[in-house]
Structure 1
Amino acid sequence: MNKFGSRVTAAVAAAVLAFVPVCSAHAEGENAGEAQADTEELTFEEQRQASYDVIPDTNEIEGWPQGPQIYGHSGIVMDMDSGAVLYEKAADDQHYPASITKIMTALVALENAELDAEINFSQASVDFLEYGDASIGMTPGEILSLNDAMYGMLLASANEVSYAIAESVGTLMGGGYDTFIQEMNDRSAELGCTGSHWVNPNGLHDEQHYTTARDMALITSALYEYEEYKTVTQTLNYTIGPTNLVNESRTFQQNHKMLWPDNYYYYEYCTGGKTGYTDQSRTTLVTTAENNGLRLVAVILQDDGDVYVDTRSMFDYAFGNFSKTLLSDQEKPEGVKSYASEDAYVLLPSGVEFSSLDQEITISNEKSAAGTVTYYYEGQNVGSADVTLTAGYVEEMTGYSADPKISGEGGSGEAEASVASFPVGLLLGTAAVIAVLFAAALILIRYQAVKRRRRRRQAARRRAAASRANVHPSRPYMQEGRRPSPERTRPRQYRSEHRDRDGRYR
C-alpha cells in the first residue's frame, strides 16, 4: 500500500471508530450521535480490523524503520532514560486507562510515604466496591503496611487497596482522599502529561477519567526509578500475612503474562508492567523491558486483539532497529556548555546521521544555567539530556545575567573573571594571615609584660616585709614578721617520731 493509500485507510478507520473514548467521545451534538450510530453498525471483527489497518505515525517518517501494525487504537514505545520515542500510533489520543491507573497511584504513594507507613481500610474504602470488581477481601478496620498494599494493588489489582492507599497517604500529606487525587493530576502535569485527568486511584470507569499512551509512558518512566516498584512488579507470587482483624493469609499472583516463564506469552526481556480492563476501556497494558543497554516502556490502549502479541512485536521492532549515539562524541549545540551526564545519548535508526538532527533547548533554571536539550529527527523525539548552558546564552534568551560585569560570548567571560579573581583572592588571603599573626604577637608581648610587672610587685612586697622584720628576705618562715617556734625548727624526723596514735604531736 502506498503512502497516499495508507493515509486514506487511516482516515476512514478513524472516522468509524467513534466508540473510542477519546476527547470526541465526550463531545455533544448531532455529529457525535451520528458517529455513535455508525459504530453500532460495525461488527466487533470489523472494528478490530479497522483499528489494525491504521498505520503507525512513525511509519510515515521518511527514513524511519517501518514498525508493526497493532490492534490497539493507541500505542507507544519510549526509551525511559532519554525519552526517545521509537514507535507511536495515535499516542496522544485520550482513552480510558482502567487499572493501569494504579501506576500513577503507585508513583504518588512512593513519593509521599515510606513503605512501613500504615494503610488503614475505612468503611468507604470497601463500600464502593461492586460485584466483579477486583479485590482481595479487605474489611473495614484492617491495617496493612504500604509495602503489602503495593503488592495487593499492583499484582492483584485490588481496587479497595488502591482506595485505602489514596486515603491513608492523602492523610499523611495533610489532607485526605481528595488531596491524593489532586496530587495525581498535579504530578502528571509536572511530568509533561498533557492529555490525562484522574478522578480515582484505581481506574474504575468514569467519563472524566482518561489518559494517553504518551502520558502513561512518561508516568511509568518516573515510577521505574524506584527500586521498590521494580521489586513489586517483578514478583510472581506474594502472600500478605494475618492482619490485626483477619487471622488468615492472602496469597495472589502476578497478572502480567509476559513475566511467567512457563507462559506462552513469556518475554525474556520483560521487567514488569500492569494490566487493565473494563468494558469501556477494553484491554490496556503497560510493559517495561531491558535489552542491549536500553530500558524501554511500551503502552497499548484499547486493544481488542492480542495485546501481548502486539507488545512483543513493538519491543522486537524497537530493540532491533535503534542504537545509542553518545552525545559526548558529537559537537555540542550553540549555547550548551556541558552535558550533566557523560553517558547521555540519543537513539538513532540505521542510516540516520547525528548531523541531520534538529535540537530544542529549554532553560529550567536561569540562575544555575540549567536546562534540557531535546533532539529531533523529522520532528520525532530521539532523545533529550540535561545540560549546563553558557551564561551568554541564558542572558540572550532571558535577559538574566549572573554577573553584569562579565562580558563576552559563551563561557569565556566566566573563565576570564575566574582567572582575574585569583591574584585578588591570594592577596586578601595573605593579608588576613598577616593580620592574625600580628594580633597574636601583640597578645604575646602584652602577656609577657604583665608577667614581668607581677614578678616585680611580688619582689617589692617581700623586700618591704623583710625590712620591717629585719630578716633576710630569702627565709620564707620570717616573711610574716615572726620568729619561728622551737618546734618548727626541729628536724622533721623528730617531729614524726613524737606523734600519738591519732597523728597529733605530743
Structure 2
Amino acid sequence: NYYYEACTGGKLGWTPEAKNTCVLVARQNGMELMCVLMGATTAKEMFEDARYLFDYGFEHLQPYRLQSGEEQSRSAIGYNSSGKAIGKMQLGYDITCLMDTTAEPENITAEWTLPEEPILGSASGVTVTLTMEDGADSGQSTLLGTYPAVVMEQSLYEEQQAAPVVKEEKPSRPGFMGVLLVAGKVLLIVAAVLVGSFVLLYLVVRIRYEYRKHKRNQKRREMAARGIYPKRKSVAGTNSARNGVKKR
C-alpha cells in the first residue's frame, strides 16, 4: 500500500548515482512538511522511509512563530555618523520555524551579522541566525535558519554614552623649514642626475678612445706581418729645415 492520506504532492525519480529519489509534501493539522529522500534501492523502501519521517514530524514537531519585535538573547548596537547609538537589531519580519514539542523557546539564541556601515531601517546586509540548544548537557544545537534583520531607529540604553567622534584633521601647509627640506631634496636629486650623466659621458669617451687605440695597434701589427713599415721623418732633416727657416 503506497497511499499516504496527508500527502498533497511530490515527484519521483531515479538515477544510477542516487538510485530512487523523491520530493514529497504532506499537510496535517495546519502544518506542512517536505520530505526529500535518495539512495533507496526499491520503491517500497523509499515509501516506508517517507511515511516514517512524515509520521515522526507530525507527532514531534510544532510550528513556533517569532515576531519581529520580540526580544532575543543577543542584540547588536550600531552607530551613526555622529557617534550616536542607532539602536537594536531585530527580525525584518515575523517568521515561523519548526521546533520539537519538548523544546523550550527560551533556548533559542540569535547571532547577528551587522555590515560595516549599517543603514537605518534597512535589511541590506543585516542577518540573524537562529539556533536551538538540544539540551542543557548535550552541548549540541539545531540550526533553525538564517533570516534578514533590520536596524531600528531607537536607542538601546538611554544611559549609554555616545561613541566618540573622531574628526579628520586637515593637513597643515608646510612652513619655512618644510620648504627648505623639499628644496634640499630637489637639489640632491639634480646633483645625482648630473653626476650620473658625467660618469656615463666619461665612460663613453674612454671606451671610444680604447677602441681606436686597439684598431691602430691591430693595423700596425698587420702591416708589420706583411713587411710594410711606415716611413718616419729624419730628425736631422727636420732640424735643418728648422734652421733654414731661422736663417731667413
Look at both structures and tell me which one has the larger radius of gyration over its CA atoms: 2
TM (norm. structure 2) is 0.45
TM (norm. structure 1) is 0.23
